[in-house]
Chains A and B, each alone.
Chain A
Amino acid sequence: MPRQLAQLGQTGLNSLGKLGRSLLVLIAITGGVPALLFRPKLIIRQLYIVGVLSVVIITVSGIFVGMVLGLQGFYVLSQFGAAESLGMMVAASLVRELGPVVTALLFAGRAGSALTAEIGLMRATEQFAGLEMMAVDPVRRVLSSRFVAGLMSMPILAAIFSAVGVLGGYLVGVALLGVDDGAFWSQMQAGIDLQRDLVNGLIKSLVFGFVCTWIALFEGHDAIPTSEGVSRATTRTVVHSALAVLGLDFVLTALMFRN
Chain B
Amino acid sequence: MIKQHKLWQSKSEVKAQITDRLAAILPGEILVNIKDLCFKRGSRVIFDKANLVIRRGQVTAIMGPSGTGKTTLLKLIGGQLQPDSGSIEVAGFNVHQLSHSNLYFLRTRMGMLFQSGALLTDLNVFENVAYPLREHTKLPESMIRKLVLIKLEAVGLRGAKDLQPSELSGGMARRVAMARAMALDPTLILYDEPFTGQDPISMGVLMQMIRKLNDASRLTSLVVSHDVQETAAIADQIYLIYGGKVMGQGNPKQLLDSDSPWIRQFMDGLPDGPVKFHYPAPDLQQDLFTHA
Report if A and B associate in a common complex: yes
User: Does A133 interact with chain B (Cβ within 8 Å)?
Assistant: yes
Q: Is the CB of B80 within 8 A of A134?
A: no
Q: Is the CB of A133 within 8 A of B105?
A: no
User: Does A137 interact with chain B (Cβ within 8 Å)?
Assistant: yes
A window 207-254: CB within 8 A of B: none
- The answer for the CA separation of A132 and B106 in the assembled complex, in Å, is 11
B201 → A minimal CB distance (Å): 27
B95 → A minimal CB distance (Å): 12
User: Does B72 interact with chain A (Cβ within 8 Å)?
Assistant: no
- The answer for the CA separation of A132 and B108 in the assembled complex, in Å, is 10
B246 → A minimal CB distance (Å): 24
User: Does A136 interact with chain B (Cβ within 8 Å)?
Assistant: yes
Where chain B touches its partner, the secondary structure class is mixed
- Which of B112-120, B210-218, B234-242, B279-287 lies at the binding interface? B112-120
User: Does A20 interact with chain B (Cβ within 8 Å)?
Assistant: no
User: Does A189 interact with chain B (Cβ within 8 Å)?
Assistant: no
User: Chain B residue with minimal CB distance to A118?
Assistant: B122
Q: Is the CB of B107 within 8 A of A134?
A: yes
User: Chain A residue with minimal CB distance to B115?
Assistant: A126
| CB 8 Å contact bits of B165-199 with A (1 = contact, 0 = none) | 00000000000010010000000000000000000
Chain B residues near A135: list those with CB within 8 A: 104-105, 107-108, 132, 135-136
Q: Is the CB of A133 within 8 A of B108?
A: no
Chain A residues near B78: list those with CB within 8 A: 132-133
User: Does B110 interact with chain A (Cβ within 8 Å)?
Assistant: yes
Q: Is the CB of A126 within 8 A of B118?
A: yes
Q: Is the CB of B121 within 8 A of A125?
A: yes
- The answer for the CA separation of A198 and B128 in the assembled complex, in Å, is 45
User: Does B131 interact with chain A (Cβ within 8 Å)?
Assistant: yes
B165 → A minimal CB distance (Å): 9
Q: Is the CB of A130 within 8 A of B114?
A: yes
- The answer for the CA separation of A87 and B253 in the assembled complex, in Å, is 89
User: Does A122 interact with chain B (Cβ within 8 Å)?
Assistant: yes
Chain A residues near B136: list those with CB within 8 A: 135
Q: Is the CB of A134 within 8 A of B131?
A: yes
The 5 closest A-B pairs by CB, nearest first: A130-B118, A135-B107, A126-B118, A133-B112, A135-B104
- The answer for the CA separation of A127 and B114 in the assembled complex, in Å, is 10
A window 100-121: CB within 8 A of B: 121
Chain B residues near A133: list those with CB within 8 A: 78, 80, 107, 110-112, 114
Chain B residues near A127: list those with CB within 8 A: 118-121
User: Does A44 interact with chain B (Cβ within 8 Å)?
Assistant: no
Chain A residues near B104: list those with CB within 8 A: 135, 137
Show 30 A/B contacts (Cβ-Cβ < 8 Å), sorted by A. Answer: A121-B121, A122-B121, A125-B116, A125-B121, A126-B114, A126-B116, A126-B118, A127-B118, A127-B119, A127-B120, A127-B121, A129-B114, A130-B118, A130-B119, A130-B120, A130-B177, A131-B120, A132-B80, A133-B78, A133-B80, A133-B110, A133-B112, A134-B107, A134-B108, A134-B180, A135-B108, A135-B135, A135-B136, A136-B132, A137-B104
Interface centre among A126, A127, A135 (most CB of B within 10 A): A135
Chain B residues near A134: list those with CB within 8 A: 107-108, 131-132, 135, 180
A173 → B minimal CB distance (Å): 45
User: Chain A residue with minimal CB distance to B78?
Assistant: A133
Q: Is the CB of A125 within 8 A of B118?
A: yes
User: Chain B residue with minimal CB distance to A130?
Assistant: B118
Chain B residues near A126: list those with CB within 8 A: 114, 116, 118
A118 → B minimal CB distance (Å): 8
Q: Is the CB of B107 within 8 A of A132?
A: yes
B49 → A minimal CB distance (Å): 26
- The answer for the CA separation of A137 and B80 in the assembled complex, in Å, is 12
B134 → A minimal CB distance (Å): 10
User: Chain B residue with minimal CB distance to A137?
Assistant: B104
Chain A residues near B108: list those with CB within 8 A: 134-135
| CB 8 Å contact bits of B43-80 with A (1 = contact, 0 = none) | 00000000000000000000000000000000100101
- The answer for the CA separation of A130 and B107 in the assembled complex, in Å, is 11
B47 → A minimal CB distance (Å): 19
- The answer for the CA separation of A81 and B114 in the assembled complex, in Å, is 72
A43 → B minimal CB distance (Å): 15
Chain A residues near B131: list those with CB within 8 A: 134
User: Chain B residue with minimal CB distance to A45?
Assistant: B122
User: Chain B residue with minimal CB distance to A122?
Assistant: B121
- The answer for the CA separation of A125 and B166 in the assembled complex, in Å, is 12
A4 → B minimal CB distance (Å): 25
- The answer for the CA separation of A135 and B133 in the assembled complex, in Å, is 11
- The answer for the CA separation of A194 and B192 in the assembled complex, in Å, is 61
Q: Is the CB of A136 within 8 A of B135?
A: yes
